[in-house]
Amino acid sequence: MAAVHSEAHGETHNPALLHHFATEEQQRDASSFGMWIFLATEVMFFGGLFCAYLIYRRWYFGDFAAASKSIDAFLGGTNTAVLICSSLTVVLAIWAAQTARRALMIIMLLLTMLFGLAFLGIKAVEYKQKFDEHHVPGASFSFEHESIPGHPDQYANPRHAQIFFALYFVMTGLHALHMIVGLGIFAWLLWMAWKGRFTPEYHTPLEIGGLYWHFVDIVWIYLFPLLYLIDRHP
Amino acid sequence: MSMATATAQPVERVNYLNKEYGVWSWLLTTDHKRIALLYLLSITFFFFIGGFFALMIRLELLTPAGDLVQADTYNKLFTMHGMVMIFFFLIPSIPAVLGNFLVPMMIGAKDLAFPRVNLLSWYLYIIGAIMMLHCMLTGGVDTGWTFYTPFSTAFTNTKIVEAGLAIFIAGFSSILTGLNFIVTIHRMRAPGMTWSRLPLFIWAHYATSIIQILGTPVVAITIVLVAVERTLHLGIFDPKLGGDPLLFQHLFWFYSHPAVYIMILPSMGIVSEIIACFARKRIFGYSFVAISSISIAVFGFLVWAHHMFVAGISVYAALVFSLLSYSVAVPSAVKVFNWTATLYKGSIRYDAPMLYAFGFLGLFTIGGLTGLFLACLGIDVHVTDTYFVVAHFHYIMVGGALMGYLGGMHFWWPKISGKLYPEGWARLAALIVFIGFNLTFFPQFILGYVGMPRRYYQYPQEFQVLNVLSTAGATVLGVGYLLPMIYFLWSMRYGKPAPDNPWNAAGLEWKTPSPPTTYNFEEEPVVTWEAYNYDEIDAAHKEEVPVAG
């Protein structure tokens, strides 16, 4: 098959090179550029939520602080560490591909996915906590008699706190959705790696998959302090 | 490659249309030219649907009383007209049809950077479109295309979530098209095709793509928030829960204002190509026109709250947005002046594409100037939410964008189909469109100024004459749109075969056969000439008579 292919146009090239590109370098550049642009759209997508968050936080700071205190910063912090580790394993997987270390590449990809699953598991625990405490917005939402940090005589306005939780669930939920998509992408990358499709000369899907994963990580790094650490005191 | 047969019949040359036959060769194609035609069929279909709603609206408005449809139905009619025309016709139209077809060819590439993403983009459009069709057939939406909260989140019983999802998916299609164009223009230009040699059509699509990339995700998240609020009752926009309905308007218009530049910029790109060709001159002030495309894209993101002057924003915010809205008109005016200057001392031919370009010049200018009236706070308080605004945006979207689209379809039709359209009929159709358009929409400026509100199905008796004129114009306009549909189809079977370059136009796309082969160029072109080198072209062809029509 490869022999027929290279006979057809007289020079050999990596089978992954698509014919509308002149060189592998052009293809790699284009793919990378394309992923960066997609990430720009994702920034704008999450940006709308961050914009809403910023506005309401400014208006209802005390209520937001009270609501923020009620979500578990330890679990959130653990999740942050988990994601940062997963970004490390992604980078190691790419390094392994660049240096033809197939076994290490596959292990790192697996670890990345395990970290991702751990993140989602911890998130599920958090969501359940919120559900049990009636902090999920809707008919059974309740946020009575929660004092505003720093103002023990004032109670938080439940309506404003509900806005915080609405944003909490939408923002972390959208993030979790992106994580799930990321897991799907990495499952595919793992399969390609297993089949030996990545070499030091060609591992572009790993690189752009890695870019996506790092982006999802960075979104969480913004979400964590904004949601979990409003006006926290030791 | 086809081989010569033993018979005396000349064998039809292999091109992108006849290379493979069969439904799957079209539905699984990655050829940007075939994808462009897939889009052409799709958006034309939706143009008819949006046009049908427009017809119903204008029929109702023939009489002052609300007597053709019920009030709720009327709300659905203007909502669906807007949503279909904006999201499923105008925003994809030029980029997805002419952009997809021409961008690779104009820069000397074999295809876009991501052909499979291009096909995905079409499938996303189709999925969103089918969803929207289903939504319309099962009740539709009645909020206006702007689906403001709290009506859309808390009070209406119509299918907001389904329509929102349809638009969300179509928006993703738009994003992927923009992404593809940006990477293609950056990375796939042929040797010698420097940025300053690019056709202005490419600059226009580059600027459009920037808006598509940065703006569309914001309306996407807005739709998500509306859907979440409707279904899960998470009250971001609900005052009862401490939310703010104005936040919706800010988020919505942050995209929807730049969206109008998505609709007009590609059309401006087409006008540059047509005017240069039919005045046989380089576009005057090429770099200014190129930079103004980018400026429009950038400034377009800074003016959104001019849709909210009477919504409850502070007067100081309104002042700032008014000032910014005035300044966004400057790059558009720069273009109009440069096009006009191009005409000066040009050798002007009045073929159908040029008639559409002339129409564009006049109608876009009127539409743009009336935008300035609206940017003036005092005037806006008087005419906002009246037919004045309706007339303003139709002058730009129909008199501007759609005219440009039709001009472009005529200009590149020989390249796309390999056939010539009948020039006489085309000029007649252009004239009918121009007359019908003005008859439809000019009375609406007056109606708005004397106080007829938009989105109302009944009005005082004294407004009837103008409304009747408008409806009459709409009928004429409809005829004008039907004619090209008919003769383009006719030409595919009976039209004269087109030469490679019927207009003797500049541009790499004309150096391919009509219709082109799948990979466009036999050999990668090497560009050593500036854009619009009509003086060189005409010096070589002085003895020839142009063959079009």
CA distance B126 to chain A (A): 21
SS (H, E, C) B172-215: HHHHHHHHHHHHHHHHCCCCCCCHHHCCHHHHHHHHHHHHHHHH
The dihedral through the CA atoms of A164, A167, A170, A172 has a sign that is negative
A163 Cβ under 8 Å from any chain B Cβ? yes
Secondary-structure percent of chain B, ordered helix, strand, coil, rounded to 5: 70, 0, 30
Asked, for residue B15, whether it belongs to a domain, the answer is no
| Percentage with pLDDT > 70 across chain B | 96
Four-CA torsion A42, A47, A52, A55, nearest 10 degrees: 170
Calpha distance B463→A155 (Å, rounded): 57
Instruction: List, as ranges, residues 55-94 from A with C-beta within 8 Å of B.
Output: 55-56, 60
Which pLDDT tens digit goes with each residue over B476-535? 999 999 999 999 999 999 999 999 999 999 999 999 999 999 999 989 999 999 999 999
Instruction: List, as ranges, residues 204-243 from B with C-beta within 8 Å of A.
Output: 213-218, 220-222, 224-225, 228, 232-236, 240-243
Chain A partners within 8 Å of B188 (Cβ): 20-21, 26, 30
How many Cα atoms occupy the beta-carbon half-sphere of B374 within 13 Å? 30
Chain B partners within 8 Å of A41 (Cβ): 175, 179, 213-214, 216-217
A183 Cβ under 8 Å from any chain B Cβ? no
* CB-based contact A60 B242, cutoff 8 Å: yes
Nearest CA in chain A to B112: A20
Chain A partners within 8 Å of B180 (Cβ): 34
Asked, for residue B7, whether it belongs to a domain, the answer is no
Residues 6+ apart with CB under 8 A from A188: none
Read out DSSP for A94-115? HHHHHTT-HHHHHHHHHHHHHH
A37 Cβ under 8 Å from any chain B Cβ? yes
Q: In total, how many domains does chain B have?
A: 1
pTM of the predicted protein model: 0.94
pLDDT of residue A83: 97
* CB-based contact B235 A137, cutoff 8 Å: yes
Calpha distance B540→B529 (Å, rounded): 14
Chain B partners within 8 Å of A18 (Cβ): 115
The H-or-E segment that residue B217 falls in is helix B200-232
A159 Cβ under 8 Å from any chain B Cβ? yes
B246 Cβ under 8 Å from any chain A Cβ? no
In 3D, which of B307, B405, B311 has the Cα closest to residue B353? B405
* CB-based contact A162 B235, cutoff 8 Å: yes
Containing structural domain, residue B292: 23-540
Q: Give the domain CATH number at B188.
A: 1.20.210.10
* CB-based contact A34 B114, cutoff 8 Å: yes
* CB-based contact B242 A52, cutoff 8 Å: no
pLDDT of residue A18: 80
Nearest CA in chain B to A168: B234
* CB-based contact B113 A34, cutoff 8 Å: yes
- Domains along the sequence of chain A with CATH: 39-228 (1.20.120.80)
CA distance B179 to chain A (A): 6
B317 Cβ under 8 Å from any chain A Cβ? no
Chain A partners within 8 Å of B218 (Cβ): 44-45, 47-48
Burial class from Cβ neighbours inside 10 Å (0-12, 13-18, 19+) for residue B6 reads exposed
Query: CB-CB: which of A20, A37, A45 is closest to B183?
Result: A37
pLDDT of residue A15: 74
Residue by residue, pLDDT tens for chain A (234 residues) are: 445 555 555 556 777 778 888 898 999 999 999 999 999 999 999 999 999 999 999 999 999 999 999 999 999 999 999 999 999 999 999 999 999 999 999 999 999 999 999 999 999 999 999 999 999 988 889 999 899 998 889 999 999 999 999 999 999 999 999 999 999 999 999 999 999 999 999 999 999 999 999 999 999 999 999 999 998 876
Nearest CA in chain A to B231: A138
DSSP assignment, residue B386?
A: B
Please report how the helices B115-137 and B160-187 are oriented relative to each other, as an axis angle in degrees rounded to 10: 160
Calpha distance B308→B385 (Å, rounded): 11
Asked, for residue B5, whether it belongs to a domain, the answer is no
Query: CB-CB: which of B241, B244, B254 is closest to A159?
Result: B241
Q: Are B272 and B265 in contact (CB under 8 A)?
A: no
A22 Cβ under 8 Å from any chain B Cβ? yes
B114 Cβ under 8 Å from any chain A Cβ? yes
Chain A partners within 8 Å of B175 (Cβ): 41
Query: What number of C-beta contacts closer than 8 Å exist between A and B?
Result: 112
Residue A211 one-letter amino acid: L
Which pLDDT tens digit goes with each residue over B222-259? 999 999 999 988 879 988 878 999 999 999 999 999 99
Which pLDDT tens digit goes with each residue over B417-476? 999 999 999 999 999 999 999 999 999 999 999 999 999 999 999 999 999 999 999 999
Q: Are A53 and A171 in contact (CB under 8 A)?
A: yes
Asked, for residue B198, whether it belongs to a domain, the answer is yes
Average pLDDT along chain B: 94
In 3D, which of A184, A205, A208, A181 has the Cα closest to residue A35? A208
Tokens coding B339: 């096009």
Residue A167 one-letter amino acid: L
For residue B150, say if its preceding peptide bond is cis, omega within 30 degrees of 0: yes
Query: CB-CB: which of A21, A138, A163 is closest to B242?
Result: A163
Chain A partners within 8 Å of B220 (Cβ): 45
Nearest CA in chain B to A140: B233
